[in-house]
Structures are given as C-alpha cells and as structure tokens.
Chains A and B, each alone.
Chain A
Amino acid sequence: MYVIGKQWMWHVQHANGKRENNELHVPIGQPVRLIMTSQDVIHSFYIPAFRIKQDVLPGRYTSLWFEATKPGEYHLFCAEYCGTEHSLMIGTVIVMSLNEYQAWLTTPGDVIMPDGSIQAGQVLLNPNTSGPQLGPSLSDPMAVAGEQLFTSLGCAGCHVEAGGGTGPSLRNVFGYTQTLADGSTVLADENYIRTSILTSMKQIVQGYQPVMPVYEGQISDDQLNQLLAYIVSISNRGGNAPASVPVAEPQPSPAPTSVPAPPSAGGPFDADLATKGEQLFNNLGCVACHQDSGLGLGPRLRGLYNRQVALADGSSITADAAYLQESILNSAAKVVKDYNPIMPVYQGQLKDDEVRQLVEYIKSLTE
C-alpha cells in the first residue's frame, strides 16, 4: 500500500487504486507493507497499538510493514511535529477479516485514474478476471492502471517487453540486482525505480545510452506509484505483486509483407502499408519520442508531410518522402531546429519496405 503524508493529512492508497484519507483498512493475517513519502515536511506514521512508527521524509521512500492480528479500530497518529495542525493529522486503522476487506475494497470510492485524476465512485476492476482476487493478486487493477500509463506515456516504445528496444526490458527487474554502466551493481528496489523514472540519467543500465527523458515534475506521485506497481507486478520477485498479471504481450511485429508497395508517387498514402507502418511506429518506440502531444523528445509528425521544415542549421526544406526516408535511416543528417540529435540511427536495422511503411504512415498523419 502506498501512503503519502501531506501537511496535516494522510493519503492512503490501496493496491487496487482505491484511495482514502486518514483511514487505513487492513485485512488480518496479511503482512501489509506501507511505502511512504511526504510532500512537504517530515511526518511520522505511528500506530501505537501495533508498536510501529516510521518517519516519512520528503524526497524519498521509507517503508514500514506490519501484520494485524486482531480486528478492531486503532489510533493512527503523526508523531513528528509538522506544523499548526499536527495534532489533527490523526486517523484510524480499521482491521477487518479478509472477506470483509474484499467487500470493502470493491465498494465504490474514489480511485486514481491512470492520468492521475481522481474519479469518485468508480471501481477499477481487473478486466480479465470477474471478481476481485484474493491475496496478493489484489494489486492487479493498480498494475493495470500502471500498465495503461506505461503505454500512454510511451514507455512501452523504448522498454519493449521482449527486449531489443532502446531501453532495457523491465520484465523481472524489480528485486534483482542490476549492473550499471559504470560496472557497479545496485538492487532494483522501490527507490531505485523511483529515481530511475524521475531522474533517469543517474543509473544507466549497462549497454544502454542515457536517452530516457527526465519525468520529474511531469508525472504526479500517484502516477509514479502506479508505474511502480506495474513494474513490480511484472517481476516474479515483486513480493506483493502477483505472478499472474496479464503481461501485455507485445504485438508480434508484422512480418514484412513481400507485396511490393506501389510507387509512392501515387495518391496521398497507401492505407495498407500505413497500418503496418503504424504498428512498426509503436513497436520500434518512435511513438515515445515523436509524441502527438508534441511533448516528446522528437518533433510532432502529424501534418508534417509536404510542409516546410526549418532545420537546425537554419536552412529549411520541404518534408517530402525522400526527406522522411533519410531522416529515418540517417537521423543525424537533417535535425529539425531546437531538437538535439539523439534519435538512434536505423540504417541497417530496418528493411527498406519497413521504412516505406513508416513513410506511408507518416504521410497518413494529416492534421
């Protein structure tokens, strides 16, 4: 479970995304692990009855675990002085039997959606299983929300499940030691994943370039927790992560069709090639940088075809098929103004009909 201490309020977020303030519903007999961080000053999560207390620091995760034995309501205090309403930052811990806890979990309450917004009254059920599962698998919806976030933010583009993407595959990363570019090894725990997402340049895994954009300030704490839950869920050493999470099978990259594409001079674009191009565009991770929202590291491609493009060296050129092809194969040649040349070179990695599919797809992106 994830706890966020804010000045004079505790946000508690259950594995399935259900959120509550100043309250903590816990099943008995289950070891519960709290992953806590603070948004402003130092607080301290203190449950006298369970004899546990741990300071909650801004800027890093601290963890606390306990196993409730007797159902009932217990006090929850903030033990580290944190300002005017320090004495109001209290709450109750409600320990329930397992099935009561299940029932409570599914009652509608506000839930964090993948884009970080909070919607009340909506229960995030795990799509591929009918009822809520027992035990650790409860965190599916959280992982599912994390997974949706993972694709929508474009992480899936680089961190391809099967590997071979520009970023390392994240399968079975959590809980294992990673060897870093400078040869040192580090245990991939919550803090490692948090800092790798927020400040990605710090710990580059061996054999990969520091290309990943820095997400600090772009994603909220809740989204960060969801991503963390997803990454934990796809590693079999994830502790409270179920092994049975439906892993987003990578769409099999389409076997390049041998159909010779009609010469591209014809109509605006060839629909069939464009759809294949689109899948390729996602799988190769182009979508991660060339985001439609324009926020990505690469320029926005929608409506690019046949438009005047200003290049870094000041000259400008019309984005015709030849320019697109050349930019894909030898990306550093003509870099668009105020973008830095970090696009990987696909010369020799892509067959030319794959390139043609991509070009057709880009042509299909009309404004």
Chain B
Amino acid sequence: MNDHGHISVRTYWNVFGGLMLLMGLTIGAYYIEKLVLPLPEIVAVGIALLIAFTKTALIVTFFMHLKVSSRLAQLFAASSFVWLLIMFMITMGDYFARGWPAQTGPLS
C-alpha cells in the first residue's frame, strides 16, 4: 500500500462540515421529537443511533486515516465492531426470549 496516502486539508474541513451537519441533524431530530410530533420510541432511538453511526464512520475513515492505512488496521477496526455486535445480539436474544423483567412473557 502506498507510503501514507495523503488526505488533504480540504477533505478534513469538509469532513468537519459533514460532522457539524450531522450534529445539527441530531439536535433537530431531538427537538422535533420533543415538541412537534412525538415519534414512537423505537424510531427516535433508531434515528439517533443512525446519525451516531454515520458520524463515527466519518471520523474513523478520514480523521483516523483508516482509508489509507493497512488492510490489517481496517480488519481490526471492523472486528471490534463485529465482536460488539456478537455480544449484543446473543445477550439481547436471551432477554427477548426470557421475557425479563418478570411481569411479561412466559415463565421460563
């Protein structure tokens, strides 16, 4: 892979611009949800998380030079998120199936 791919200062600035835009979006979504139309909870949580993920993706690829660094570093970055996913999926699976807290669902 090339010595060290060069990310120009301009890209930094418009990445920063993008982040600010997303920031505005999150705050906007918050106030809309609070004042205008109270969305069902899952949707509100979904939007907030989606924006957070896009922000993270932007930071990771550009600011942390992941785009230009070795495939190995990219593998490590991806693997940490995959492992997080593993932990979440299986544990939440148990909680969905168990009907915890006690008052809902079948008595396992």
* Direct contact between the two chains A and B in their complex (CB within 8 A): yes
Question: Does B106 make an interface contact (CB < 8 A)?
Answer: yes
Closest B residue to A184 by beta carbon equals B104
Q: Is the CB of A63 within 8 A of B103?
A: no
Q: Is the CB of B107 within 8 A of A203?
A: no
Determine the distance from Cα of A161 to Cα of B11 in the docked complex, in whole angstroms: 73
Q: Is the CB of A196 within 8 A of B107?
A: no
Question: Does A216 make an interface contact (CB < 8 A)?
Answer: no
Return A57 CB to nearest CB of chain B, in Å: 9
Of A185-193, A312-320, A345-353, the stretch lying at the interface with chain B is A185-193
Question: Does B105 make an interface contact (CB < 8 A)?
Answer: yes
Q: For chain A residues 173-223, which have a beta carbon within 8 Å of chain B?
A: 186-187, 189-192, 194-196, 199, 202-203
Q: For chain B residues 51-108, which have a beta carbon within 8 Å of chain A?
A: 100-108
Tell me the A residues contacting B by CB distance below 8 Å: 59-63, 186-187, 189-192, 194-196, 199, 202-203
Q: Is the CB of B102 within 8 A of A60?
A: yes
Closest B residue to A203 by beta carbon equals B103
Determine the distance from Cα of A300 to Cα of B105 in the docked complex, in whole angstroms: 39
| Chain A residues within 8 Å of B107, by CB | 61-63, 189-191
Closest B residue to A196 by beta carbon equals B103
Closest A residue to B104 by beta carbon equals A186
Q: Which of B100, B106, B107, B108 has the most CB of A within 10 A?
A: B107
Q: Is the CB of B102 within 8 A of A194?
A: yes
Count B interface residues, CB 8 Å: 9
Determine the distance from Cα of A186 to Cα of B108 in the docked complex, in whole angstroms: 14
Determine the distance from Cα of A194 to Cα of B107 in the docked complex, in whole angstroms: 12
Q: Is the CB of A59 within 8 A of B104?
A: no
Determine the distance from Cα of A196 to Cα of B102 in the docked complex, in whole angstroms: 11
Determine the distance from Cα of A186 to Cα of B106 in the docked complex, in whole angstroms: 9
| Chain A residues within 8 Å of B106, by CB | 187, 189
Determine the distance from Cα of A187 to Cα of B102 in the docked complex, in whole angstroms: 12
| Chain A residues within 8 Å of B103, by CB | 186, 191-192, 194-196, 199, 202-203
Determine the distance from Cα of A203 to Cα of B100 in the docked complex, in whole angstroms: 14
Q: Which of A186, A191, A192 has the most CB of B within 10 A?
A: A191
| Chain A residues within 8 Å of B102, by CB | 59-61, 191, 194-195
* Shortest Cβ-Cβ A-B pairs, 5 listed: A195-B103, A60-B102, A191-B102, A189-B107, A191-B107
Determine the distance from Cα of A273 to Cα of B107 in the docked complex, in whole angstroms: 49
| Chain A residues within 8 Å of B100, by CB | 60
Closest A residue to B108 by beta carbon equals A62
Determine the distance from Cα of A191 to Cα of B101 in the docked complex, in whole angstroms: 9
| Chain A residues within 8 Å of B104, by CB | 186, 192, 203
Return B108 CB to nearest CB of chain A, in Å: 8
Q: For chain B residues 16-75, which have a beta carbon within 8 Å of chain A?
A: none
Determine the distance from Cα of A194 to Cα of B103 in the docked complex, in whole angstroms: 8
Determine the distance from Cα of A62 to Cα of B106 in the docked complex, in whole angstroms: 11
Determine the distance from Cα of A195 to Cα of B102 in the docked complex, in whole angstroms: 8
Determine the distance from Cα of A62 to Cα of B108 in the docked complex, in whole angstroms: 7
Closest B residue to A35 by beta carbon equals B107
Sample of 15 A–B contacts (CB below 8 Å): A60-B101, A61-B102, A62-B107, A62-B108, A63-B107, A187-B105, A191-B107, A192-B103, A194-B103, A195-B101, A195-B102, A196-B103, A199-B103, A202-B103, A203-B104
Return A328 CB to nearest CB of chain B, in Å: 35
Given A187-B106, A194-B102, A202-B103, 13 additional A-B pairs, CB 8 A: A59-B102, A60-B100, A186-B103, A186-B104, A189-B106, A191-B102, A191-B103, A192-B103, A192-B104, A194-B103, A195-B103, A203-B103, A203-B104
Determine the distance from Cα of A91 to Cα of B105 in the docked complex, in whole angstroms: 32
Return A230 CB to nearest CB of chain B, in Å: 19
